[in-house]
Structure 1
Amino acid sequence: MIRFIPVAELNDPLTLSIGLSGGSGTGKTYTALLMARGIAETMTGRKGAPIGYVDTENRRALHYKAAFPEMCHFDFKAVDEAGNLVGFGPERWIEVIDAAEAAGLPVLILDSFSHAWEGVGGVLDLHATTLERLTGGDGSLADKRSQLAWAEVKPRYRRLIDRIVRAKTNIIICTRAKPVMQSGFGNKAKNARKTKTRREDVPWDPASDGDLMFEMTTMVILDPSAPGCPVHQIKVADQFKTLLDPRRPMGVDTGRAMAEWAKGQGDAQRQKEILDAARAQARTGTDAMRTWWKENPDKAAVARSILSELQDLAAAADRDTAAVADDPFANLADDDGMTPEQRAELEAAESAFRSSHTETA
């Protein structure tokens, strides 16, 4: 039976899914553990609450054993106890999440989840194996049958992503990131090739599928220049923007604040309302934005987290106001969707048509 429940009756905490990506030396593991501690303690209400840790990196997390005695470690290998190669296929990850929920763990770290994508038995490996079977080893058929191979593999991976999204425990996912080839230098550097998941201003590509990145509650890419800092914020809801300062490492307090929001006890909604109000003010122009900023110092402190966005909105509003002041009918006159070159070409053709008819008459 389908039942729509009034939200006032829904008091269970939400769950968080946080993505941390970065190259070697960016502090993914330590940052994940710190944030997990804040989440676990806030969700359970007690110090030393357990942190589940799925380790694919040859037990690398145990380097922090002394600092995090509450860690519950699982050594996730590509081989089983008998030494047989079993790989990192999607179904094994689903089993791990099931086990974490059954154990009642308040938070689970998956490090490194890149193995699910590019490891032995991961999605890319499964695609290559499937393509080999579909082509019978005939390389000339690879392009034609690649999509058929993806059609077999991608649903398995999609079920894993759905399992992460629907998890009843909080999840922090660590993935590797690789440098992106760029054109230009310094502040003018841009990524040489854009994709649907790659921003021009982020010189790193997570070793994972784009579906994963955008299913996260929060997704950031760490940079070697500032370990632990959310330098590249790929997906951050307004509720968390004031928590994530690109110049300040994330830690226990970050996880605690996110968990408080998930429990409905944080101040995140009020902060979102302030950001929306600031955006509305910025859309009226720079002068109005300056006035609002000076008259609302407390709100301005929150709005500073989206300062560059507000500056862009105000500048766009100024340009629109200037254009209307110069010629209030300019937009109406040019509303045929044609470029100036196309319009000139059309006018020339019409003029030639009129001339030819005049000569004929």
Structure 2
Amino acid sequence: MTAHIRFIPVTQINDPLTLSIGLSGGSGTGKTYTALLMARGIAETKTGKKGAPIGYVDTENRRALHYKSAFPEMVHFDMKAVDDAGNMIGFGPERWIEVIDAAEAAGLPVVILDSFSHAWEGVGGVLDLHAQTLDRITGGNDSLKNQRSQLAWADVKPRYRRLVDRIVRAKCDIIICTRAKPVMQDLKTKQNSRATKTRRKDVPWDPASDGDLMFEMTTMVILDPSAPGCPVHQIKVADQFKSLLDPRRPMGEDTGRAMAEWAKGQGDAQRQKAILDRGREEARKGIASLNEYWNTDEGRQNRPILRTIFDELKSIADRADEALLSDEKDNPFSDQMTDEDAAAADYAEEQAKETAE
């Protein structure tokens, strides 16, 4: 029966959206400080109160407390791998679900999970659970592990998927910090030898997390040590956030505020997306058209937003020009003649003259 299903007009839906923001990077990239700044902007915008609480789940030996004087509104949870009695409890998916449940029960507007990499590669994390399950179903027989690895994943992955689902359904906003490790790149091409769900060919960092989670998030960026706090490598950034996440500018309180305003339905996201789409429309006509639009009054006014996707616009325009040249070359009715065609025409003319003589 479908009597309980009700479709609601969007004009009647006024609940704010929730944000899930992923910050990944190696040591020295500013993940913790950036997360706290963004969380402050989000919390104050959501509550309308200065000094609104920021939840912090700390798996890094209380590292966040280094910033307690700068962020007195932080409410801290020291998430250890052992319980108070010293028993190993690890960082399994169910513990993280309990943490999110507790954050919601406490009425926290935003919570930071740092480092969520423990859920993936820490003690009791997904990789550890997979290894334990594989040992159990193979009886420790190494020769069977390759062929039964997928069977072990079938036992572990549903537990992790429940955690991902809990993050997506969270009523509080969540900022997830994960570690990233450098990836060796070809010195000539600046490309990685092998791309995966979490490793793009053009990004020299590999996050210690799962690709399924990364692409469920509202926004996912990788920070670089050369520019701490700057969203240098943008793994998932929707158009409405392009102008907010400038790779040349560190993210901070204003970034959090703007994202929270968007979530409340009061941001400027739709207008900015229209500007980006307008730029792409001109770029599809080629470099000349893009350059002409860039120098119009409208283009000048929109340049600050268009610059956030400048490389993308140039790439689109270059491909458009290449396609146009290819079409003209293959067009038998084109007025432009290739060198080979000209040589063939000259030869035919010479032959005609000789025949006439």
What's the TM-score, normalizing by structure 2? 0.90
Q: Secondary structure at the match of 1:176?
A: strand
Higher mean C-alpha displacement, 6-15 vs 315-324: 315-324
Structure 1: which 4+ aligned runs deviate by more than 2 Å?
Answer: 323-330
Look up the match of 1:271: 272
Look up the match of 2:243: 242
Look up the match of 2:182: 179
Amino acid at match of 1:148: L
Look up the match of 1:54: 57
| Correspondence 1:75 to 2:81 | no
Look up the match of 2:355: none
Look up the match of 1:170: 173
**C-alpha deviations, 1:163-221, integer Å up to 9, x for none?**
10111110000000011122225xx3221222233111111000011111111111010
1:187-206 matched pairs, under 5 angstroms: 188-206=189-207
- Please, which of 24, 29, 34 is the counterpart of residue 31 of structure 1? 34
Q: Secondary structure at the match of 1:19?
A: strand
Report the Cα distance in structure 2 between the residues aligned to 1:327 and 1:55, rounded to whole angstroms. 62
Amino acid at match of 2:37: L
Look up the match of 2:222: 221
**C-alpha deviations, 1:241-281, integer Å up to 9, x for none?**
01111111110000000001000111111000110111111
Q: Which runs of 5+ in 1 are unaligned?
A: 331-361
Q: Secondary structure at the match of 1:73?
A: strand
Report the Cα distance in structure 2 between the residues aligned to 1:65 and 1:256, rounded to whole angstroms. 21
Higher mean C-alpha displacement, 78-87 vs 118-127: 78-87
Report the Cα distance in structure 2 between the residues aligned to 1:193 and 1:206, rounded to whole angstroms. 14
Report the Cα distance in structure 2 between the residues aligned to 1:329 and 1:110, rounded to whole angstroms. 62
Q: Secondary structure at the match of 1:191?
A: coil
Aligned-residue CA RMSD (Å): 1.1
Q: Do the aligned residues in 1 keep the contact of 2:81 with 2:89 (CA within 8 Å)?
A: yes
- Please, which of 3, 10, 14 is the counterpart of residue 11 of structure 1? 14
1:1-361 matched pairs, under 5 angstroms: 1-185=4-188, 188-295=189-296, 296=298, 297-328=300-331
Look up the match of 2:337: none
Percentage identity across paired residues of the two chains: 76
Report the Cα distance in structure 1 between the residues aligned to 2:327 and 2:230, rounded to whole angstroms. 43
Report the Cα distance in structure 1 between the residues aligned to 2:142 and 2:305, rounded to whole angstroms. 57
